[in-house]
Amino acid sequence: ANLVDLAVSNTLHKNLLSFNSSFYLITSVQERSFYGRDTNFEPGGGIVICKTVKSLLVALYSHPTLPCQVIPY
């Protein structure tokens, strides 16, 4: 399945996501967004995926940004 299908069916967090030659583990799921961390050896960095009505927004952040700085509470 591709990224769009997994996000629309809300099953993105059940897979190890491969994107832009890195692997991401989804660690937080909200109603319209997913947050994941990069599983590479370097700490920090990850991915944010937001669903809108007609599109899927994907943002990558890198070290030294930490997940606690990206995920809204």
Q: Are 17 and 47 in contact (CB under 8 A)?
A: yes
Taking only the tens place, the pLDDT of each residue in 8-34 is: 888 888 888 888 788 899 988 888 899
pLDDT (0 to 100) of residue 50:
93
Taking only the tens place, the pLDDT of each residue in 43-65 is: 678 899 999 999 999 998 887 76
pLDDT (0 to 100) of residue 57:
94
3-state secondary structure of 27: strand
What would the two tokens of residue 71 be? 């995920």
Q: Is the pLDDT of residue 73 over 70?
A: no
